[in-house]
Amino acid sequence: MSTASCIALGEIMASKSGSVDPSKFPDEVFDLYSIPAFDNRHPEVVQGRAIGSAKQVVSPGDVLLSRIVPHIRRSWVVAHGSERRIIASGEWIVFRSDRVHPDYLRHVLVGDPFHAQFMNTVAGVGGSLLRARPEHVGKIKIPLPPLAEQRRVADVLDRAEALRAKRRGTLVQLEALTQSIFLDLFGDPAANPKGWELLRLQDVLSMPLRNGLSPSNVGKVTAKVLTLSAITGSEFDDLAWKVSTFRSPPPSDQSVDENDFLICRGNGNVRLVGKGYFPTRRMPDVTFPDTMIAARIKADHLERLFLQHIWGRSAVRRQVESLARTTNGTFKVNQTMLEGITFIGPPLELQREFARRVGATDKMKAAQRASLAELDALFAVLQHRAFRGEL
């Protein structure tokens, strides 16, 4: 798209949207577009007395862009139809112009080309203290075709986005089905209403826990090694590996094996410490790193899918997070801590019945995830073409 069909965001930035102190109107009910409310895509409906600071006044059709924690892409179009006064957090940058179709602008603001430039406007000391600087954001140029074309592009992207949302919704429903199957067979493991035997991880190991290998900056041997993202997502990712250097060739007993339950040993996010998965396949040419601990399980004591599922439930997570120790912002667990983790141990036949049912559900999940990945790739292509005027 030529520069003639682009504008700087500063031209449509609402610099004088006005402000209000809701606490001066304690009984009035406002629509509040807060940052936390964005996740639900519904503004908070709240009385003035419950709002502790002054807010921006915004109008239907305004487009909001979050300047706080900028790596999370948040853009929101203020909805029509409310009879209440509409206000917004000061953490939103507000855009307003009759030259721009709101839904088109929202797609631009969450697209890859804009986001790459947006991250260059950030200042702060890290984490939640990072903020984009509006004066720098205003210098970013975006494509601006005629309004009719903007509406057409927004409609195409909206429909593609709706398909992605349906796939994500299906995955949520399948996950809920898995939880329902578990509760139906075993009950809540925290309350243990069926009185199942309690096991320690140590009780079901066929060999001692093993730490992974530590790469060496001065090593001369190159080898493939898993990255932590292999076990910190929603499933095991066999593509999450890199080539690193070691002092000597990694031994075969340190390679990735589908019989080893791989556990995250340390992470800056306490919710990821102790997270674990069984690899989906044997990977003899890939080792696992020292940020993971491998647990080889007795097959006649535990079914793999049962352990993998119960390990992620709150009864185990509470134990892991209470044991984790932090050093320089990294939470860590060790072998001794993990050996003492307890969980219910129903009869193996019942565990296998769970694995049979969940195995079928997991196949459906895999198909939905593959479809979602294809839709995500298609959406990225559509965005790229749309904002180059090629759609």
| Chain segment 363-384, per-residue pLDDT in tens | 998 899 899 989 988 888 888 7
Residues 6+ apart with CB under 8 A from 330: 266, 267, 268
Question: What is the rounded distance in angstroms from the CA atom of residue 280 to the CA atom of residue 257?
Answer: 9
Please report whether residue 158 resides in a domain.
Answer: yes
Same domain as 239, residue 201 = yes
pTM of the model: 0.69
Same domain as 353, residue 338 = no
* pLDDT for residue 130: 87
Handedness of CA 232, 237, 239, 241 (dihedral sign): positive
Domain that holds residue 22: 3-144
Same domain as 338, residue 201 = yes
- Provide the CATH number for the domain around residue 317: 3.90.220.20
Compute, in degrees rounded to 10, the torsion defined by CA atoms 116, 118, 124, 128: -90
Centre a 10 Å sphere on the Cβ of residue 95 and count the other Cβ atoms it contains.
25
Closest CA to 59 of 101, 17, 20, 26: 17
Structure tokens at 51: 């709002």
Question: What is the rounded distance in angstroms from the CA atom of residue 91 to the CA atom of residue 228?
Answer: 33
Reduced to 3 states (helix: H, G, I; strand: E, B; else coil), residue 166 is helix
Are the C-beta atoms of residues 96 and 115 closer than 8 Å to each other?
A: no
Same domain as 295, residue 163 = no
Instruction: Name the stretches of the chain with pLDDT < 50.
Output: 1-4
* Residue-wise pLDDT tens digits, 151-163: 999 999 999 999 9
Same domain as 20, residue 98 = yes
Please report whether residue 317 resides in a domain.
Answer: yes
What is the tally of structural domains in the chain? 3
Same domain as 370, residue 319 = no
Same domain as 370, residue 238 = no
Please report whether residue 190 resides in a domain.
Answer: no
Look up tokens 């499933």; give the residue. 235
* pLDDT for residue 382: 84
* pLDDT for residue 125: 60
Please report whether residue 204 resides in a domain.
Answer: yes
* pLDDT for residue 126: 60
Reduced to 3 states (helix: H, G, I; strand: E, B; else coil), residue 10 is helix
Question: What is the rounded distance in angstroms from the CA atom of residue 286 to the CA atom of residue 242?
Answer: 9
For 83, phi and psi rounded to 5 degrees? -95, 0
Centre a 10 Å sphere on the Cβ of residue 223 and count the other Cβ atoms it contains.
20
Residues 6+ apart with CB under 8 A from 355: 303, 304, 305, 306
Please report whether residue 156 resides in a domain.
Answer: yes
Structure tokens at 215: 């790469």
Helices (H) and strands (E) in the chain, counts: 8, 25
Question: What is the rounded distance in angstroms from the CA atom of residue 328 to the CA atom of residue 197?
Answer: 38
Same domain as 330, residue 205 = yes
- The tally of CA atoms less than 13 A away on the side-chain side of residue 175 is 12
* pLDDT for residue 383: 80
Look up tokens 């998965």; give the residue. 277
State the burial class of residue 259 (Cβ atoms within 10 Å of its Cβ: 0-12, 13-18, 19+).
Answer: middle
